[in-house]
Amino acid sequence: MHSRPRHPFGIPLLVSLLAILGLALPGLAAADKPRIVATILPIHSIVAALGEDAFEVELLVPASASPHGYSMRPSEARRLQNADMVVWVGPELETFLERPLRRAGDREIISLMDDLDLDLKPTREGGVWEHHHDHGNDGHGHGDHDHDHNGHGHGHDDHGHSEDHHGHHDEAHGHEHDHHHGDYDAHIWLSPAIVRAITEQLAERLTQWDPERAETVEANRDALLERIDDLDGRLARQLEPVRDQAFIVFHDAYQYFEQHYGLNAAGSISIDPSRSPGPRRISELRERVADGDVVCLFTEPQFRPALAETVAEGTDTRLGVLDPVGAELEAGPEAWFELMQNMADGFADCLGKE
């Protein structure tokens, strides 16, 4: 009788080793993918959708935190340092990254506002805005129709700080200054037209950066563009009935959304939500609300609504809630779509009530 050859390690040990290797292989494969860090949730969502199955895309700033003046934790600083590519909006938004990104090393760094050709809108002053409601047309009956500001020529000298760059109120001269960073509004992800442009141009940059993964990126790009168009059409139909209703926002984060869908914004309490407006602005806003046509005043979940309640007190103006950054959303390719749908729901629910 012939005996069966015995494995020197024994069958149980061999099975265990194979199991361990099987569990480790996906991690090893993932480690081989280039690592991209995107700074905020809506931008991370777009990059994650473009890079799905091609790159490891990580979020830097927690969705519940404000990117203005954010202080990175050591783990986040390491994540940034270990990235092969960093995608950020620009110094107008993530001010805390200006110094760390100067020490770029071999990392690829893409500032969406500076390195891509996007239709940017100038920042607005807080307070009451002149009535310039415009039902422009960009193919859906709503309009992103500002002048084109090429990302390489924004005039970001000194990042657009006013003379009183600490945001102090200059009551002696009859003005109240908002502290804002840059001449152009950085909330670019709230326009489907701009997100289309980001998708197309960022896909091109990714395929040039890593040609081996170009086919995957291009397939992701095409699927993402189709989904953006579908969502855009649905939101346009949802918002059409409330386009003439006037409203005031807590801080001026929404003009890309407003102008894309032709909404009737009447003013904002603040540009920088971390700084309280002066009594003059509150008085002007109360007078505007007292005119009787401001249907809603929108607050944000991250901030107490006391100021909004003060402005609306004694009037029929309703309070609604808008979240421009998706503070409670789960990071991933779906987050931008959820954020935009929530935004449309917030406007429609408040402005559409009888």
- Three-state secondary structure of the chain: CCCCCCCCCCHHHHHHHHHHHHHHHHHHHHHHCCEEEECCHHHHHHHHHHHCCCCEEEECCCCCCCCCCCCCCHHHHHHHHCCCEEEECCCCCCHHHHHHHHCCCCCEEEEHHHHCEECCCECCCCEECCCCCCCCCCCCCCCCCCCCEECCCCCCHHHHCCCCCCCCEEHHHCEECCCCCCCECCCHHHCHHHHHHHHHHHHHHHHHHCHHHHHHHHHHHHHHHHHHHHHHHHHHHHHHHHCCCEEEEEECCCHHHHHHHCCEEEEEEECCCCCCCCHHHHHHHHHHHHCCCEEEEEECCCCCCHHHHHHHCCCCCEEEECCCCCCCCCCCCCHHHHHHHHHHHHHHHHHCCC
The answer to the question of residue 324 being in a domain is no
**pLDDT at res. 146:** 40
Global pTM value: 0.78
Tell me if 86 is assigned to some domain. Answer: yes
Q: What is the mean pLDDT of residues 288-303?
A: 84
Let me know if residue 249 belongs to a domain.
Answer: no
The predicted-structure confidence for 336-348, as pLDDT tens digits, reads as follows 999 999 999 999 9
Segment of 27-31, 133-137, 146-150, 220-224 carrying the highest mean pLDDT: 220-224
Domain membership flag for residue 213: yes
Residue numbers of the domain that contains 64? 31-117+196-227
Examine residue 271 and state whether it is found in any structural domain, yes or no: no
Is residue 215 in some structural domain?
A: yes
Q: How many domains, the chain?
A: 1
- Answer whether residue 47 is part of any domain: yes
Q: Return the CATH number at 60.
A: 3.40.50.1980
Q: Which residue has the higher pLDDT, 137 or 45?
A: 45
